[in-house]
Structure 1
Amino acid sequence: MGRGDSTNAEWHRLESFLPRGGARGGRWSDHRRVINGVLYRVRTGVQWRDLPERFGPWETVCKRHRRWSADGTWERLLSLVQAAEDAEGRIDWDVSVDSTAVRAHQHAAGARKVPPAAVPQKGAGQGANRVEPAAEAGRPMGGGDQISECLGRSRGGFTTKIHLAAEGRCRPLGLVLTPGHYGDGPLLERVLEQVSVPRTGVGRPRSRPDHVLADKAYTSRKNRRYLRRRGIRHTIPERLDQQRHRHNRGSDGGRPTGFDSERYKKRNTVERAVNRLKGFRAVATRYEKRAYVYLGTVTVATLMIWLRT
């Protein structure tokens, strides 16, 4: 076992969830060797061609990662690991929401324009909407194919933004990718929709946190109405301009929003989850041209965080 490879304990937890057959009924190459190759690349950020020989042909490792990113296998594995953790009561359902911008490498630009039907689709029910389409986000589709691949221009160049919800033990529960110039507040509902932990027995997946914590970027009335409609308690500070507007309206401004400053201190869990994710170099810098492949890379990093925490 090399440095950073999956340990025997981690592999024992993951092995039973892996698919058994390959394409057209054939056998997969050794799962552990290939997954360790994917993990090595996610951890170090090297080019696929530079993978050490102990992981086998680099083409096999690269194609497996792209295939599993497209068909939702990585997301299914993450859901199964989360379900096992929830069944043992090891998930803290005080959920914090935030985002982080990721600089895109120059090699991430230049993806070919392809018809929507030609883009690989993720498996149904396995997070097929975690890559935010520009049309659904209400943003213009200009700039070629960059917006559709979650690449946005900002002061630092091309960036991608990872929106995530993290549980109380600093492990991501839901992920959404957008171009780097997208705002945080409008994506709250979309991020919380990705929180879905299956039950190991009978019952629907758990998707409602006990409490949601977020910063001032999420303090819109629309977000608060959405959380109240779902019966989710929340701690979100109110911006000063909103407070002045409410005071100026008098009794028509409504009651002040409740805010628990002590509970709000727990919001640092999402910041620590971001730090853990960006400890993987292929997450901290985006090298993939395709958004769904980069999402698979982020999902692999998230999977390892869950296995190792």
Structure 2
Amino acid sequence: MEITKSQFKIIEHLLPLQRGNVKIPNIQVINAVLYVAEHGCKWRGLPEHFGNWHSIYTRVNRWAKNGVLDHVFGVLQDADVINIQVDEVSLDSTIIQVHPDGTGALKKNGPQAIGKSRGGWSTKIHMVAADDRTALTFSLSPGQSGDAPEGRNLLKRLENCGWEGASVIMDKAYEGNDTRQLVLDLGMTPVVPPKVNRLTPWEYDKEMYKKRNEVERLFRRLKGFRRIFSRFDKLDVVFKFFINFSLIADRLISVNRP
């Protein structure tokens, strides 16, 4: 799997221009990152035809710290290639196991959303998705943290997006009063089943709720990239880079797909 020249043109103008005597073009770097993301290998394991692995790693590390792909991800959401039509969104989270190589960084080096739960060291990806290919926003938290508090933080990002009247599809982890009230305050409609111990359960759109599988399918597609399926990166800024990259690459590769 690789990004073609026609697909790369969609994001080419959003990447920093390299100055000086640069031997490795950005498209080659992008495909090198795709190889690492897809195969889960170390940077040293890059095939030689991509060029010097350390030069690629240095550029990627600089992009990660400067939020380059955060910008690309944001711009693509408004581009014709994605053309988001939001009638409903889905909110959910997924657990990512942290490889031993991803632990042990000093706290002063940057945020590390890594926590210890019954399954060992893990990270949670929280996400709001418009469909099975379009993530609207995401965040990270330690694996043992609750879904609802971080979910509310994500929902607050949807304020003033012009999506009033849209449905917010959530599972029972988000059925608390605070989360449902926030959705209503945003002018949106919560679609979430009540827990069995609710004294006053409510009705919800069961047909609409079936669309929650879209965010699950998006997580499944993300975990097809081995650098997402297991976290090898000590710092959140680098792990977020791979999440952004995987979302962008998956969308670009689908552009010319028959």
**TM-score, scaled relative to structure 1:** 0.76
The SS at the match of 1:35 is: helix
Q: Which amino acid aligns with 2:166?
A: D
2:194/2:202 contact within 8 Å kept: yes
What residue number does 1:42 align with? Answer: 37
> Quick check: 1:150–1:178 contact (8 Å CA) kept in 2?
yes
**CA distance 1:83–1:177, shift in 2 (3 Å):** same
**Residue from 230, 238, 250 that aligns with 2:186:** 230
Partner of 2:242: 297
Query: 1:192: Cα distance to partner?
Result: 2.5
Partners of 1:94 and 1:67 in 2: CA distance: 36
Deviations 1:100-134 (CA, angstroms, capped at 9, x unpaired): 101111111110232xxx64xxxxxxxxxxxxxxx
Residue 258 and residue 59 in structure 1: after superposition, are their counterparts in 2 closer, same or farther (change >3 A)? same
SS in 2 for 1:272: helix
From 69, 80, 86, the equivalent of 2:64 is 69
- 1:93 Cα deviation (Å)? 4.0
| 1:90 shift after superposition | 4.4
- 1:12 counterpart residue number: 9
CA contact (8 A) 1:174 1:192 kept: no
Change (3 A) 1:95 1:267: same
* Aligned partner of 1:152 among 115, 139, 152: 115
* TM-score (structure 2 length as normaliser): 0.90
- Tell me which residue corresponds to 1:106: 100
> Alignment length, in residue pairs?
253
Q: Distance in 2 between matches of 1:151 and 1:50?
A: 25
Equivalent residue for 2:77?
82
CA distance in 2 between partners of 1:37 and 1:53 (Å): 10
* In the alignment, structure 1 residue 185 sits paired with structure 2 residue 130: no
State the SS of the aligned residue for 2:79. Answer: helix
Match of 2:148, as an amino acid? G
Q: How does 1:81-230 map to 2 (within 5 A)?
A: 81-85=76-80, 89-114=83-108, 119=110, 148-194=111-157, 210-230=166-186
Cα separation, 2, equivalents of 1:94 and 1:75: 23
Quote the RMSD (CA, aligned, Å): 2.2
The more displaced of 162-171 and 97-106 is 162-171
Mapped to 2, the partners of 1:58 and 1:15 lie a distance apart of 21
Would the aligned equivalents of 2:130 and 2:136 in 1 still touch at CA under 8 Å? yes
Unaligned runs of 5+ in 2: none
Deviation of 1:153 after TM superposition, in Å, equals 0.7
| Alignment check: 8 A CA contact 1:35 1:61 kept | no
d(CA) in 1 for partners of 2:114 and 2:126?
14
Q: Cα–Cα, structure 1 residues 228 and 33, in superposed 2: closer, same or farther, change >3 Å?
A: same
Tell me the CA shift for residue 282 of structure 1: 0.3
> Structure 1 residues 205 and 75, CA, compared in 2 at 3 Å: closer, same or farther?
farther
- Secondary structure in structure 2 of the residue aligned to 1:237: coil
Q: Are 1:175 and 1:194, in contact at CA under 8 Å, matched by a contact in 2?
A: no
Deviations 1:233-270 (A, max 9, x none): 1201111112x2x3xxxxxxxxx534000111111000
| CA drift at 1:274 | 0.4
Cα distance per residue 1:53-84 (max 9 Å; x no partner): 11111112212222212211111011111110
Please, which runs of 5 or more residues in structure 1 have no aligned partner?
120-147, 197-203, 247-255
- Decide which structure has the larger Cα Rg and report it: 1
- 2:122, 2:47 → 1: CA distance? 29
